[in-house]
Amino acid sequence: MKTKLLITLLLLPALAHAHPGHAGHEGDIGWGLAHPFTGFDHLLAALALGLWAGLHDKTSRWLPVAAFIGANAVGMLGGLLTGTFTGIETALAVTVVLFSASLAGGFRASAPLACGLAAACALIHGWAHGSEAPSSANMAAYCGGVLAGTLAICGVGMGMARLLRERHILVARGIGAVSTIIAAGMLLRSL
């Protein structure tokens, strides 16, 4: 109960800034926090990654999430410096398919492989975040907010995995299957 209350309180400022019209606050940390929650591809990818990582061995669960956050930061820098690239929406949809299908299929990767997959996908997501940054943004605050929001979504996925790991693994795989179908639709739409 306390955790739910804390998460709600942490997200309230982001919800207040999730729409335009807050003069002088465009691109601050609240906008950054809201960004991963407002892009369905980012939301699904981070949630599926958190669930998938949470089902891995206890000693390596956080490694793919850490790789995802770190590579997201590197990708954001690339997006900030160079802007978007052709096919980024397709690449984003492919990353969601990869995470979701891995979850649905019960794919267990070694820690290095899981971290490599997470990092490769995060570079694309970070690039998109960076290229979508408001031009008036305080880049440090905005990017910090994006990373914090992404970490929060991954954490929710890991929490779900903790609840489902022992007795309800098929529910976790079902979530992965539904997410895969949604991501496949996103992929087809982006082509």
Per the CB < 8 A criterion, the answer to whether 144 and 14 are in contact is no
Within 13 Å and on the Cβ side, how many CA atoms surround 23?
Answer: 0
> Which residue in the block uniquely carries the two structure tokens 């440090």?
140
pLDDT range class, residue 1, cuts 50, 70, 90: low
Distance CA 82, CA 123 (A): 14
20 CB neighbour count, 10 Å cutoff: 10
Of 87, 89, 72, 66, which Cα lies nearest the Cα of 126? 72
* All structural domains of the chain with their residue ranges: 40-190
Among the residue ranges 4-8, 170-174, 187-191, the one predicted with the least confidence is 4-8
pLDDT tens digits, residue range 96-142? 999 999 999 999 889 999 999 999 999 999 999 999 888 888 899 99
Per the CB < 8 A criterion, the answer to whether 61 and 54 are in contact is yes
Quick check: 63 pLDDT over 90? yes
Q: What is the pLDDT of residue 15?
A: 45
